[in-house]
C-alpha cells in the first residue's frame, strides 16, 4: 500500500487540509498526531529514518495497512506502517485501548443490565461517542477478556526471590445485593531485579483458603524461588504464606504496623509514639533495631501498656527485613510500592463505583495491571548483583546465615 500523502506539518497547514476535506478539526488533528507517533515508533524499531542507508538499521519499511482506532472523539482511520519481515507490532493501539475498553465496559455493563443512572448513561456516551447495545458490549468484551485471561494464566518461567502481597476491596453486585469483594494482588521481584504483577484475583474474603488458592495457582503456573514475602498481618494471609511457602522469611509491613500502633493511642501521643517506632525501623543493623525495640517496650510499659505489649509480642515481625542486603531494605520493608498501584486502581474504580459482576472487576484491574507491568519492565527495581545473604530468625534469637546466589538454581522453595 502506498505511503500516506505528504502533508504540511504546521498546525495551520494540517487544519487547512482537514477543513478542505470537510473533516472534524479535532478528529483530524488527533489522527495526524497519532499517525506521526506510528511513524516514529517504526523508525525507532528499525533504528533508521525512511531511505536512511546505515549499517545499524534493523530492517526496511514495506508499506501500510489500514486500522481503525476508537477514541472519545469517534473512530479514526489510520495507516499503520509495516516492515519487510513483518516483525513490527505497534504498541499504541493496545496501550491506548486496553484500559479504556475495560473502563468503558465496566460502565456500559451497568447500563445494559439496567442498574445505571442517567449520569452513567451520559458518561458512556461521552466515552464511546455513541449509544451502546448489548451486542456491541459483547463484541468489545470478547477480545479484551481473552487477553486478560491469557495474561492471568501465563506461565511463570523466572525465579522470584521476593514477593509482595496485598488486597483491596471493591463493591460488586451479586443477586440483587451489593457486597464487598476482596481483590487479591501479588507482585514478584525476579532474580534480575525487575518487578512484575503476577496476578489478580477476586475472593469473598482474605481467608487462608482464598490466599492458599492464589498461591497454589501461582506455583502451578511455575512460581519458584520464593525466599522472602512482605505483607500485612492478616491472619488468613499469614497462615497461607506459612503453609504455601515453607522456609521463606515473612516480613510484616512496617507501615501497616505503625498505623496499627497509632490507632491505639490518642492523637496527642501519636507523634511521640511514632518517633519511637521510627528509631526502631530506622536502625542500621538488626542488633541496633532489637536494642531500640527492647528500650521502647520498657519506656512505654507504664504510659502505654497495650502498645508495649504489642511491641513485645510482635515487634520483631517488623525486623525480618534485616536479613536482606542493605540496599534492598528500604523498598522491601513495606508494601508501599504495591499500595501506590492500589491508589491508581482506586482512581479508576471509583468511576465505576459498583461493578455489575466479578468479571467486570477482574477485567478492569487486570487491564491496569498489564499496563503497569509494561512500565515496570522498563527499569530495574532492585540491584540483584552478587549474593543474597538470607538470615533466618530462629525463635527470635539467634541468626543463621544462608548465603544463596541470586541467579543460582538453589533459589527455590
Tens digits of residue pLDDT in 253-304: 999 999 999 999 898 999 999 999 999 999 999 999 999 999 999 999 999 9
How high is the pLDDT of residue 23? 62
How high is the pLDDT of residue 51? 76
Cell representation of residue 257: 504496623
Angle formed at CA 319 by CA 316 and CA 321, multiple of 5 degrees: 150
Which among 104, 137, 140 is positioned nearest to 120, based on CA atoms? 104
Please provide the DSSP assignment of 30-80 as one string.
HHHHHHHHHHHHHHHHHTS-TT---TT----EEEEEEEEEEETTEEEEEEE
Query: Is the confidence at residue 64, as pLDDT, over 80?
Result: yes
Query: Is the confidence at residue 108, as pLDDT, over 60?
Result: no
CA dihedral 62, 68, 69, 74 (to 10 degrees): 140
How high is the pLDDT of residue 113? 47
How high is the pLDDT of residue 321? 95
Compare 375 and 8 and report the one with higher pLDDT: 375
pLDDT digits (tens, 9 = 90+) for 156-172: 999 999 999 999 999 99
pLDDT digits (tens, 9 = 90+) for 216-228: 999 999 999 999 9
**268-307 in b/e burial notation, b at 16+ Cβ within 10 A?**
eeeeebeebbeebbebeebeebbebbeebbeebeeebeeb
How high is the pLDDT of residue 94? 63
> CA 142 → CA 101, 105, 146, distances in Å?
11, 11, 6
Cell representation of residue 138: 459483547
Half-sphere exposure of residue 137: CA atoms within 13 angstroms, side-chain side: 17
pLDDT digits (tens, 9 = 90+) for 131-159: 555 555 556 666 678 888 999 999 999 99
Distance of CA 401 to the CA centre of its chain: 33
Which among 218, 158, 167, 219 is positioned nearest to 193, based on CA atoms? 158
How high is the pLDDT of residue 352? 76
Helices then strands, each counted (H, E), the chain: 14, 9
Mean pLDDT over residues 386-403, rounded?
38
pTM of the model: 0.67
**What percentage of residues in the chain have a pLDDT greater than 90?**
44
Q: How confident is the model at residue 95 (pLDDT cuts 50, 70, 90)?
A: low
**368-387 in b/e burial notation, b at 16+ Cβ within 10 A?**
bbbbbbeebeeeebbebeee
User: CA-to-CA distance for 263 and 306, rounded, in angstroms?
Assistant: 11
Mean pLDDT over residues 351-356, rounded?
81
Q: What is the chain's mean pLDDT, rounded? A: 79
pLDDT digits (tens, 9 = 90+) for 319-338: 999 999 999 999 999 999 99
Q: How confident is the model at residue 213 (pLDDT cuts 50, 70, 90)?
A: very high
Helices (H), 221-353: 235-244, 254-262, 267-281, 286-300, 305-314, 326-332, 336-352
Q: How confident is the model at residue 42 (pLDDT cuts 50, 70, 90)?
A: confident
Query: Is the confidence at residue 14, as pLDDT, over 70?
Result: no
Cell representation of residue 405: 546466589
Mean pLDDT over residues 299-324, rounded?
93
Strands 228-231 and 249-252: parallel
Coil, strand, or helix at residue 400?
strand
Show Cβ contacts of residue 166 under 8 Å, excluding neighbours closer than 6 positions: 185, 231, 232, 335, 338, 339, 342
Out of 11-15, 86-90, 189-193, 310-314, pick the least confident.
11-15
- DSSP-derived secondary structure letter, 318: G
Mean pLDDT over residues 306-316, rounded?
94
Q: How confident is the model at residue 85 (pLDDT cuts 50, 70, 90)?
A: confident
User: CA-to-CA distance for 124 and 128, rounded, in angstroms?
Assistant: 6
Other residues' Cβ atoms within 10 Å of the Cβ of residue 259: 12
Other residues' Cβ atoms within 10 Å of the Cβ of residue 353: 14
Amino acid at each position: 500500500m502506498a505511503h500516506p500523502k505528504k502533508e504540511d506539518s504546521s498546525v495551520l497547514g494540517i487544519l487547512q487540509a482537514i477543513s478542505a476535506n470537510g473533516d472534524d478539526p479535532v478528529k483530524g488533528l488527533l489522527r495526524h498526531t497519532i499517525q506521526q507517533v506510528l511513524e516514529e515508533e517504526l523508525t525507532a524499531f528499525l533504528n533508521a529514518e525512511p531511505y536512511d542507508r546505515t549499517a545499524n538499521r534493523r530492517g526496511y519499511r514495506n508499506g501500510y495497512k489500514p486500522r481503525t482506532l476508537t477514541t472519545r472523539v469517534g473512530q479514526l482511520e489510520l495507516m499503520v506502517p509495516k516492515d519487510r519481515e513483518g516483525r513490527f507490532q505497534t504498541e499504541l493501539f493496545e496501550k491506548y485501548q486496553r484500559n479504556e475498553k475495560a473502563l468503558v465496559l465496566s460502565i456500559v455493563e451497568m447500563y445494559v443490565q439496567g442498574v445505571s443512572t442517567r449520569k452513567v448513561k451520559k458518561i458512556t456516551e461521552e466515552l464511546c461517542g455513541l449509544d451502546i447495545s448489548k451486542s456491541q458490549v459483547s463484541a468489545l468484551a470478547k477480545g479484551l477478556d481473552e487477553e486478560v485471561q491469557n495474561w492471568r494464566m501465563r506461565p511463570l518461567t523466572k525465579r522470584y526471590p521476593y514477593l509482595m502481597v496485598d488486597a483491596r476491596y471493591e463493591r460488586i453486585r451479586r443477586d440483587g445485593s451489593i457486597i464487598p469483594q476482596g481483590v487479591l494482588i501479588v507482585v514478584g521481584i525476579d532474580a534480575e531485579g525487575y518487578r512484575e504483577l503476577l496476578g489478580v484475583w477476586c475472593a469473598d474474603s482474605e481467608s487462608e483458603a482464598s490466599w492458599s488458592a492464589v498461591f497454589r495457582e501461582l506455583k502451578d503456573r511455575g512460581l519458584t524461588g520464593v525466599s522472602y514475602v512482605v505483607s500485612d498481618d492478616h491472619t488468613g494471609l499469614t497462615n497461607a504464606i506459612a503453609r504455601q511457602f515453607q522456609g521463606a522469611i515473612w516480613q510484616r509491613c512496617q507501615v501497616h504496623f505503625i498505623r496499627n500502633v497509632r490507632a491505639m493511642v490518642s492523637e496527642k501521643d501519636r507523634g511521640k509514639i511514632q518517633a519511637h517506632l521510627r528509631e526502631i525501623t530506622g536502625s542500621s543493623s538488626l542488633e541496633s533495631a532489637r536494642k531500640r525495640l527492647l528500650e521502647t517496650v520498657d519506656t512505654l510499659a507504664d504510659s502505654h501498656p497495650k502498645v508495649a505489649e504489642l511491641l513485645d509480642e510482635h515487634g520483631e515481625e517488623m525486623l525480618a527485613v534485616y536479613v536482606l542486603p542493605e540496599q534492598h531494605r528500604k523498598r522491601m520493608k513495606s508494601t508501599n510500592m504495591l499500595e501506590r498501584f492500589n491508589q491508581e486502581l482506586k482512581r479508576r474504580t471509583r468511576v465505576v463505583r459498583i461493578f455489575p459482576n466479578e468479571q467486570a472487576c477482574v477485567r478492569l484491574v487486570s487491564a491496569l495491571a498489564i499496563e503497569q507491568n509494561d512500565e515496570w519492565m522498563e527499569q530495574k527495581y532492585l540491584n540483584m548483583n552478587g549474593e543474597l545473604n538470607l538470615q533466618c530468625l530462629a525463635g527470635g534469637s539467634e541468626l543463621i546465615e544462608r548465603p544463596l546466589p541470586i541467579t543460582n538454581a538453589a533459589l527455590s522453595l
